[in-house]
Amino acid sequence: MTFESLYPSCFKIPKTELTIAVLRSGCSMLRCICLGVVGLLAGNLFLLCRGQMISKCLYCFLVVLYFFLTTAFAIASDVWFVDTRREFVIDQLDNNSKWKTSTLDAFVQTHNPNKPLVIVTHGYKMTYREARQFGIEFSKLTKNFGEHRFLFWSWDSDKEICGIKSDAVNAGRKADSEAKYLTNFLKQLKPDSKVSLIGFSYGSRLISTSLQELATKKEQTTPNNTNAENDSAQTVLKSDAESQVKMPLIRVVFLAAAVDCDQFGQNKKYGNVLSITDKLLINVNLSDPALLLYPLLTGLGSPKAVGRRGINTQGIPKNLSSKIKTINVRSEIGVDHTFESSFHAFLSYRREFKKYALFNDSTF
């Protein structure tokens, strides 16, 4: 038992958040003081020693000192980037919009469960450099909607020149294989965390596979309650197992999802996804040119894509299908299948973004 566990969670103030807030305030004050001192001294020196070399040297020294102090105490922003192309790598964005190498332990230890974690992942044919730039730009677009931690998740989706159909098949396979990293990442988070997963195109498939794996592992670790009450040893095992299956509250958003629409029913490929999902929002666009060809690219007779039709709820229990909401974004996007247009269309629905991404259920 730790010292913090003796107190109710409502009375806890996250030490990391408090430290960051204090440092940010101190850094701002330090910048103002340095700027004032630099201006005052430089002005007086030039007035008293106009044109003299010593005044120029002192002025340059003070300018350098100012920039050193303001950058030395700069606090990193709460924007993160994960790349799984070769291995799991995590970076954090600093105040100078530069990515700095970090660790998973640092991410988990500094994560405040009360602050929503927004995870955005791209689709197929995005390079490492493009993904890092998208991470910066998209984090800027979301920062004014409310307080949250932003994580851009990048996976091995670089373009392969094997033909359109072969590339489409490879994209699905890569998304499935890369999902294990996201599964393991979600298992590291605190059980009371709030996580929103936003996937574009094949990124939605990566999320679906990850959640299916997570739900399957949860079922496998759920203990058998038979005669558990009569056996103290089994009761202990039961408690341990239950503590292992607690997971964050998860909300999901599919943007132009390249996922089979009929694979979310019972005993289907993604049959357990809705069981561990709090809410699911789907943006559909009947004019999406890529998703129009989806059945042809994935094989004759294949079902339509979720991003074009929505999820086929036939055979899905009502308590699970009620979690799904579908929005037609055809008028906002038109004949297009790009990450930028899909993400901007989602942001245009401010209420839905706050609800599904930031867990703000207010109707206003």
Q: pLDDT tens digits for 149-177?
A: 999 999 998 866 566 666 677 778 888 99
Is 364 within the bounds of a domain? no
Same domain, 85 and 41: no
Q: What six digits make up the tokens of 154?
A: 């990048």
- Note the pLDDT tens digit of each residue in 45-71: 554 555 555 555 555 555 445 444 444
Q: Are residues 33 and 88 in the same domain?
A: no
Assign 3-state DSSP to the chain and report helix, strand, coil percentages, each to 5.
Answer: 50, 15, 35
Residue 5 lies in a domain: no
Residue finishing a domain among 5, 37, 72: 72
pLDDT in tens, 89-144: 999 999 888 999 999 999 999 999 999 999 999 998 899 999 999 999 999 999 88
Question: What's the whole-number mean pLDDT along residues 307-333?
Answer: 96
Q: Report the chain's mean pLDDT, rounded to a whole number.
A: 79
In this structure, the answer to whether residues 117 and 195 fall within a common structural domain is yes
Split into its structural domains, the chain has a count of: 2
| Domain assignment of residue 326, yes or no | yes
Q: Which helix (H) or strand (E) holds 241?
A: helix 232-244
CA distances, 336 to each of 49, 137, 287, 341, 345 (Å) = 64, 20, 7, 8, 12
Collapse the DSSP code of 147 into the 3-class scheme (helix H, G, I; strand E, B; otherwise coil) and give the result. coil
344 within some domain: yes
Indicate whether 32 and 148 sit together in one domain.
no
Amino acid 35: pLDDT: 54
Q: Are residues 170 and 48 in the same domain?
A: no
Q: Looking at 29, 45, 72, which one is the last position of a domain? A: 72
Domain span at residue 218 reads: 79-356
Percent of the chain with pLDDT over 90: 57
Residues 62 and 95 in one domain: no
Residue 33 scores a pLDDT above 80: no
Tell me how far apart the alpha carbons of residues 210 and 184 are, in angstroms, rounded to a whole number: 9
Q: Domain check: are 121 and 227 in the same one?
A: yes
HSE toward the beta carbon, residue 321, CA cutoff 13 A: 12
The residue ranking higher by pLDDT, 268 or 36, is 268
